[in-house]
Structure 1
């Protein structure tokens, strides 16, 4: 191996050594990137996803743990938090990343699809945060990260459910930031711009990928937030590709 090859090898750091982190929607896209970046930083990661088989594959590759999770199911949400605490002895960080979208006009948007998007993107983070915050208050510390979107800041056609859910998630995040600070629990909203993930590429195959960013870049931004000193919290951070088309 020459010097340049040696320099390109990923070296596991200890920036998050000992931290126990639960990532929802962790089996693909940004979720998988988060699991990898945080695991490489020394964290113990629980990969939670509706697709359990895929979650197991990600976890096996990272020597992490995996759990099946429907974030919109109250019993499943509580079980995922409690399973993480049993596995790790604690829960330091919850990352609410799971998300879905339905791209269609208001006229064509079915009630069931509206409910599914809201249930996953907004109700799910509420449930997960509620159960995680209970454990974090007992521990005297914690950090909840909510993955929002530029869709929480501006709107475009044929995405009513997604916009409603992400605007709601941003509001929920700031409300929890205000409510949980006295208990030494940090809450951060991440406004993520377009990424090269199946979430976009599978639905919009003609999208110009040069206007998107790698999900690992957003994951590294999240890691930087998690490694700040205890006395500092970032309540909102925006991470955009240089050629972002949905933000000026």
Structure 2
């Protein structure tokens, strides 16, 4: 594929973090279905391998790596390994994210460190070291949240991490444009994924959206013409309750 053909993701090598389930898996399978070569990474290696196996069984192309996004040495090693295996890297989707739903009085400093490490330090490290491999025309997509636009109780560290991720996204958008590297944020509203359903089993699923809809938004920002970049886009369910 011509490195500057952005009408399609076909042939592009795309690394996805938090790929083992939920939105990450939906992004992998959506992009693979359009011909992208997927590097599925997750802290749970078996789940990343399962996603890669499904893609390969469907005649796509994918490989899997275990990756703790907050571990700088692992980040370097996985990026190097992916490029060695597939020959190039065209996009990084920073999707890995965790939350600890506790009041500020109950939230331990170790909880704070763990969430910030995954949700904010991880995208920083993937961007920093990914630049060693992304050519002009490369793209970094950060998965944010409506939690970066308004706040609710008992989610202080999640809000801090996602507001920080939006700041990082816009700073990198400003910094990397001169290098020809695009940076975008997808602000996702509530989805029917384990991220919410595991923690809030009584949630009304009619208020949530299919993660495939958000995955299609990722494909949308990746397939803009070279002269255009989308710094951020918000994707909400019609009945979204965390946004007016």
User: Given the two structures, how large is their TM-score scaled by the length of structure 2?
Assistant: 0.94
Deviations 1:85-122 (A, max 9, x none): 11111110000000000001000001111100000000
- Aligned counterparts of 1:180 and 1:83: Cα–Cα separation in 2: 24
The offset of 1:77, in angstroms, is 0.8
CA distance in structure 2 between the partners assigned to 1:155 and 1:116 by the alignment: 20
Match for residue 52 of structure 1 among 45, 49, 56: 45
1:6 corresponds in structure 2 to none
Shift of 1:134: 2.4
> How big is each residue's C-alpha offset from its partner over 1:178-215, in whole Å with a ceiling of 9 and x where there is no partner?
00000000000110000000000000011100000000
User: Which residue does the alignment assign to 1:3?
Assistant: none
CA distance in structure 1 between the aligned counterparts of 2:78 and 2:165, rounded to whole angstroms: 20
In the alignment, structure 1 segments of 5+ residues that lack a partner are: 1-13
Aligned counterpart in structure 2 of residue 92 of structure 1, from 90, 93, 111: 90
Asked if residue 210 in structure 1 is aligned to residue 203 in structure 2, the reply is no
1:228 to 197, 217, 224: 224
Q: After the TM superposition, which residues 1-248 of structure 1 pair with which residues of structure 2 at under 5 Å, given as runs? A: 15-63=8-56, 64-136=62-134, 139-248=135-244
**What RMSD in Å do the two structures reach over aligned CA positions?**
0.9
State how far apart, in whole Å, the 1-side matches of 2:131 and 2:231 are: 16
**C-alpha distance in 1, partners of 2:214/2:238?**
13
The alignment covers a number of residue pairs equal to 233
- Structure-2 separation of matches of 1:84 and 1:181: 24
CA contact (8 A) 2:137 2:226 kept: no
- Deviating above 4 A after TM superposition, structure 1's stretches of 4 or more consecutive aligned residues are none
Q: Provide the secondary structure at the position in 1 that maps to 2:8.
A: coil
- For 2:11 and 2:136, locate their aligned partners in 1 and report how far apart those are by CA, in whole Å: 16
Write the deviation string for residues 195-240 of structure 1: whole angstroms up to 9, x where unpaired. 0000000000111000000000000011011111111100000000
In structure 2, how many angstroms separate the alpha carbons of the residues matched to 1:222 and 1:58?
18
How many Å separate the matches in 2 of 1:205 and 1:17? 37
SS at match of 1:47: strand
Q: Normalized against structure 1, the TM-score is what?
A: 0.93
Partner of 2:59: none
Q: Secondary structure at the match of 2:164?
A: helix
